Structure 1
């Protein structure tokens, strides 16, 4: 399962999709999709008006007036999902049928190296396949004659992120070998299709370089080590100095792993206590979220119970799902169909879940207590459970945050429970979050700022220097 997925995920639909015979099948699905979104999605109008949503649906209809194969229909659906500006609403790569994955996600149309974006600059961070002419720190200027800045702008509306926090959208365009399916790998070939077996790259100071395209299987073989959540060493504790520990947590999407993550964390804090650590650095820069593992860290940083969500409330749009929609709503827990039963009717199309009103959700202190200084390293990837973790440690003064602004949004995000909407005509799937968190007082349309801003340079990338980690160690020493 992808490190960025918060879903336990049911198996993708196995039935033959209608697009095999109908090149505009997504158009036939649109009325159903609109009704599902307008009935169930808690954040549909958080960042757009009903009129704006209607226009987005009309734009999809216009895009499908001409015959469109499944790849073009997938692109059109992704563009529609992007209009919602929700980090958990997208045509999930992992939940598509095998037939659609073979056509849209798996082909040999991917760049054979790793890279990040620094503004509009595409900078190589790794060349695990040893491709000739490609080195770490190299800047890519064009791909098949198209300026990379234009590619970046074209991809932006397709990226899943909350509100107008574009930092998350840009971060999703990085290819770092940490995802089983990279977002750039999926959308770039759909926007700039080519049947040629190689890319022609324009490289700063080098001119033109030709590189062969790779497929998904090859990409997955080049994944960076340390990003397999099924291994008990997925999280690591290292000691750059005898009294400073670095807890690295690439992900918290641990729903179906066989190792005991709580016991693993217990052992790490016991190790820190035994060795007398006076500084702790929590590295979650590549971690979007998943389970609320951060609560277990906070439990070691507090002396009294810490209440959760006191400034936010959780809302849903329905008491029970309409029975005629249920056949299209896949999920791992059918009780989600009754999510709003017993909730308070707010009178504006929302129902407030009672658990928040009762104020019983707290993090209780747990030993061994860590009494030293704590730094949390952040990035735009932090947009779900890790966003909430950073929000708590900042709000309660439990740690200083180093790095770049987070993803997510202070106006609240949608998640907690999901339906996987399986569209009957096109065979496409789109994730639908069911619980929206909403602030009780006005909040900015933005992520969270770090206490100490540190951004790597091209020179840092070329030399392999981790500027954020170095600054954190220096300040804790």
Structure 2
């Protein structure tokens, strides 16, 4: 899979096996002396609180990872804690523990102090990038005076970029073993930001790049920039490539011929209300038009849909089937009350009581000891008597997640829809989400979002540990991106049946 196996092995040894010494050195230079240093006792207390809270509340913690594997990682990471570590060092010790839950809703965030440090004193690679599988392409016109637009990044400070991304991938989760969401997350300036959080913040970078047109490589020295300068690069890149920055939650229009494109960038009711829109009214109006016009082909764009309000995914799905179906096999809760609640955003008496009352009202302890959502509490929208029955194409990406991915799973399970793009970022069989407990560690103030409801979809056609796999996989191309070509949409238009053209 990797093209540079030998160099990758050396880099992996450099980045992983020598820890924590290499990691310690990366964040102990003079630039980090202003950061607070924590005694080992406080760090161990934060560490144990995090681990115990995950085990107690994260209902899907062992969905993709065995208890033995989880505990093994915990023991190894705990042994890395040393006295007088700063927040960045501790973040890099504990973030892989959050990531190994393999649930994208379970996330870890820097403290406000660390975020302020990055914004005011952080040093970053001056890069905005496009990731295409294992490859990383530079989007900005110039980098420290070098014309590198379109070049593929091979190595940074003599470490292959593939090994660098693998190290970063260890610090944040995705559903199961899905890689598409991690690849997409490092697009733009986020690769530079995550590098600064995980690898280090040197004054300059020796960057080896390759010209894709002739295969020629060169190594250039690139000066680090401030966060403000990095944001300027982001703005220029978005302007250069005419990135769609529309915040509209959804849109509908006809393309050439009898082809309609329906885009849902979210299922969040609050996002719809923000734009004076109503999700259900908008959806109904679109399908009423489609049926009235006898539309032959519908392309539903789910590439930016990260989910939202529960129920909207199957409300949309109800317009695409006339057959009865079951959405969830179960919705499961780990417990009704939590020992660490005083360290969360439900710490006040009113918030805690409100949460516990809600959990008791909506869930019940069953005879087999599981806590499940009460039957009849949630009833999905019944299928339509006259749904859309034309040719159906779904555009997906690593950002297709949570409720957006659930919608795609339902389509894959119950329709003949054709999927185009990248594997969905959300798992085929469901996710752990719903109510989130925002845990703040007392000493370091790192914040961890812990999901407490495990949604098991009533599906069986997927691959465990993965999302919906597209029928036509599209690998993002720098050339297409730079020319504003929508690869997924173009593919959908090219594969339509002859009768629909």
**CA distance 1:31–1:130, change in 2 (3 Å):** closer
The Cα of 1:376 is off from its aligned counterpart by 0.6
Paired with 1:438 and 1:300, the residues of 2 have a C-alpha distance of 22
**CA distance 1:227–1:440, change in 2 (3 Å):** same
Mapping for residues 192-271 of structure 1, pairs under 5 Å: 192-196=199-203, 198-204=204-210, 205=216, 207-209=218-220, 210=222, 213-215=225-227, 217-218=231-232, 221=235, 224=238, 225-227=243-245, 229=247, 233-253=248-268, 255=270, 258-259=274-275, 260-262=277-279, 263-269=281-287
**CA distance 1:464–1:140, change in 2 (3 Å):** farther
The Cα of 1:130 is off from its aligned counterpart by 8.9
**CA distance 1:362–1:254, change in 2 (3 Å):** closer
The answer to whether the Cα contact below 8 Å between 1:329 and 1:420 also exists between their aligned partners in 2 is: yes
The answer to whether the Cα contact below 8 Å between 1:71 and 1:103 also exists between their aligned partners in 2 is: no
Paired with 1:348 and 1:83, the residues of 2 have a C-alpha distance of 28
Indicate which of 38, 51, 66 corresponds to 1:22.
38
**Residues 166-185 of structure 1, C-alpha deviations (whole Å, 9 max, x = no match):** 3333333333x7xxxx3x34
The Cα of 1:270 is off from its aligned counterpart by 5.3
**CA distance 1:298–1:107, change in 2 (3 Å):** farther
Range that drifts further, 149-158 or 330-339: 330-339
Structure 2: give runs of 5+ residues left out of the alignment: 1-34, 211-215
**Residues 255-287 of structure 1, C-alpha deviations (whole Å, 9 max, x = no match):** 365222424445544555676643221122233
Mapping for residues 262-301 of structure 1, pairs under 5 Å: 262=279, 263-269=281-287, 272=290, 277-292=295-310, 293-301=312-320
Match of 1:400 in 2: 418
Mapping for residues 432-471 of structure 1, pairs under 5 Å: 432-438=450-456, 444-457=464-477, 459-461=479-481, 463-471=483-491
Paired with 1:456 and 1:48, the residues of 2 have a C-alpha distance of 30
TM, length-normalised to structure 2:
0.76
Indicate which of 334, 337, 345 corresponds to 1:317.
334
Match of 2:447 in 1: 429
Paired with 1:128 and 1:249, the residues of 2 have a C-alpha distance of 32
**Residues 203-247 of structure 1, C-alpha deviations (whole Å, 9 max, x = no match):** 213623436535164466458454453xxx353334441322223
Indicate which of 47, 58, 61 corresponds to 2:75.
58
The answer to whether the Cα contact below 8 Å between 1:201 and 1:211 also exists between their aligned partners in 2 is: no
1:33 matches 2:50:
yes
Paired with 2:287 and 2:346, the residues of 1 have a C-alpha distance of 36
Mapping for residues 320-331 of structure 1, pairs under 5 Å: 320-322=337-339, 325-330=340-345
Paired with 2:96 and 2:225, the residues of 1 have a C-alpha distance of 25
Q: Which has the larger radius of gyration?
A: 2
The Cα of 1:139 is off from its aligned counterpart by 1.1
The Cα of 1:251 is off from its aligned counterpart by 3.6
Paired with 2:386 and 2:245, the residues of 1 have a C-alpha distance of 28
Paired with 2:389 and 2:183, the residues of 1 have a C-alpha distance of 36
* RMSD after superposition: 3.4
**Residues 119-158 of structure 1, C-alpha deviations (whole Å, 9 max, x = no match):** 322123x338898545654211122332211212212212
The answer to whether the Cα contact below 8 Å between 1:108 and 1:214 also exists between their aligned partners in 2 is: yes
The answer to whether the Cα contact below 8 Å between 1:112 and 1:129 also exists between their aligned partners in 2 is: no
The Cα of 1:360 is off from its aligned counterpart by 5.2
SS in structure 1 at match of 2:274: coil
SS in structure 2 at match of 1:415: strand
**CA distance 1:258–1:167, change in 2 (3 Å):** closer
SS in structure 1 at match of 2:270: coil
**Residues 382-440 of structure 1, C-alpha deviations (whole Å, 9 max, x = no match):** 23111101001111106221122222223432101101001111111100001012367
Paired with 2:246 and 2:385, the residues of 1 have a C-alpha distance of 28
SS in structure 2 at match of 1:140: strand
**CA distance 1:191–1:432, change in 2 (3 Å):** same
Structure 1: give runs of 5+ residues left out of the alignment: 1-18
**CA distance 1:411–1:239, change in 2 (3 Å):** closer
Q: Tell me the number of residue pairs that the alignment of Structure 1 and Structure 2 aligns.
A: 439
Highest RCO, 1 vs 2 (Cα 8 Å, sep ≥ 6): 1
